[in-house]
Chain A
Amino acid sequence: MTSRLPDAEALIPRLAAELKGRVTPATAMIGLHTGGAWVAERLHPLLGLKEPLGLMDIAFYRDDYAKEGLKHDPKRTRIPFEVEGRDLLLVDDVLYTGRTVRAAMNELFDYGRPRSIALVVLADRGGRQLPIAAQHAGAQVEVPAGKRLRLKRAANGRLTLELEDAG
């Protein structure tokens, strides 16, 4: 079954080539914990960006806190550059409902007012519940009902897309 899924490793250089065209002197990159951070860590050096990579955990901006609480220990958001006036590349692994991206944008604006934000994802699985779209998607993936698309990282750093049962 997993044979139908795209090879995450092959998607990364293709995405990087696509992104090169939009890099400006004001461009900086932010990866979303955890999967988006893995993708961003790979894309960042390929683009030769001046600013170090930013990493964000959107736990404090989620819209399901009232229902779910804080179940996982949030990672610390670290944005080692001024957000004000930047052209930001916001990187996530899988785009689904769009809720994570909404939370991420809310958090970003508490750091400053970027000039632009472009959404970059490794895989877009459809199913949006909010008016959000990726400007750059490595692949469109159809996910069967009851399944979830997850990015995994092996001990050697190799990235793979896998289907698992939605819990």
Chain B
Amino acid sequence: MPANPQLNANGELQHLLSIEGLPRAILEQILNTAESFVGVTEREVKKVPLMRGKSVFNLFFEASTRTRTTFEIAAKRLSADVINLNVSVSSQTKGESLLDTVANLSAMQADVFVVRHGSSGAPYLIARHVKPHEHVINAGDGRHAHPTQGLLDLYTIRHYKKDFGALTVAIVGDVLHSRVARSLIHGLTSLGVPEVRVIGPQTLIPAGVAALGVRVFHDMRAGLKGCDVVVMLRLQNERMNGPLLPSAQEFFKNYGLTAEKLALAKKDAIVMHPGPMNRGVEIDSPVADGPHSVILPQVTFGIAVRMAVMSIVAGN
């Protein structure tokens, strides 16, 4: 079995399943290519002919309007044909297996599968069974990974901070349930960020996270001191009032990002959030809309990053 299911025999990116295990050179290739696509997305004609004649299947076994839409826009700007399949409400309810669904779509001449699935590892399973000219991009699997979100976070950090080599980055909130956090931590350490911190209540920080090379803080004020980048995570509604958290108000008091807490970070710190935001739960409105916030540019960069990933894998 090959050591890395994401790479082909030449060491090039065949599928994007996780940031974990990607060589630094490939991370940099994606970020550099994305930078050129940012130029395209700023033009009047926001489209290039690169993937003309290729078909991208958005396979969403779990609902996500935002991620699906950005993949759709990215594919269209590459001139690919896009087919959106909301599988949770079609075949799966009729009892078709995951691999049968994929085999059927493959028979319709797919080139790229963009997969969102509630179960960790589903995109790996698909990647193992597709034909050599077919490519799989993980758009979020269970609690495991969300590599394009991690990559767009990395792109945003590089855009504003230029050099990863001297940064302190804090990731705040529900790290336990966040696939974004895991992808980002792997990317930051691969690209040489010297200090990655995770901040959150003990109940929402996974045991053993320190083994990934991060510093854990339960006191948000201490954790934010001297940070260049603050990444806020979404607190999922279904976790509130559960056994892990007393209440949204209590969480906001301790771990919500307010202007007063943000003042502890560096003066030119940037604030990021993968969206959708819960204002007044993990982030205060004046911060979300304030001068440090780069939350909307993240969305714009996300399209260029997804264009880069699609065009790199589909060309390999």
Interface residues of A (CB under 8 A from B): 57, 59-61, 65-66, 68-71, 73-78, 106-107, 110-112
Instruction: Find out whether the CB atom of B50 lies under 8 angstroms from the CB atom of A65.
Output: yes
Instruction: Find out whether the CB atom of B36 lies under 8 angstroms from the CB atom of A69.
Output: no
Instruction: Find out whether the CB atom of B312 lies under 8 angstroms from the CB atom of A69.
Output: yes
Complex: A132 Cα to B58 Cα, angstroms:
40
**Interface members, chain B 48-94 (any A CB < 8 Å):** 48-51
Instruction: Find out whether the CB atom of B33 lies under 8 angstroms from the CB atom of A70.
Output: yes
The distance from the CB of A76 to the nearest CB of chain B, in whole angstroms, is 4
Chain B residues with CB under 8 A of A73? 28-29, 32-33, 36
- Give the size range of B's interface with the partner: 20 to 34
Task: Describe B's contact surface by its main secondary structure.
Answer: helix
Q: Is B38 an interface residue (CB 8 A)?
A: yes
- Can you offer 21 A-B residue contacts whose CB atoms are under 8 A? A60-B36, A60-B37, A60-B48, A60-B49, A60-B50, A60-B311, A61-B49, A66-B315, A68-B315, A69-B312, A69-B316, A70-B315, A73-B33, A73-B36, A74-B33, A74-B36, A75-B36, A76-B35, A76-B36, A78-B39, A110-B48
Complex: A102 Cα to B127 Cα, angstroms:
36
Chain B residues with CB under 8 A of A59? 36
Interface residues of B (CB under 8 A from A): 12, 28-29, 32-33, 35-40, 43-45, 47-51, 311-312, 314-316
Instruction: Find out whether the CB atom of A111 lies under 8 angstroms from the CB atom of B45.
Output: yes
Chain A residues with CB under 8 A of B35? 76
Contact of B43 among A57, A70, A71, A110 (CB under 8 A): A110
Chain B residues with CB under 8 A of A78? 39
Chain A residue nearest to B79 in the complex (CB): A60
Instruction: Find out whether the CB atom of B48 lies under 8 angstroms from the CB atom of A61.
Output: yes
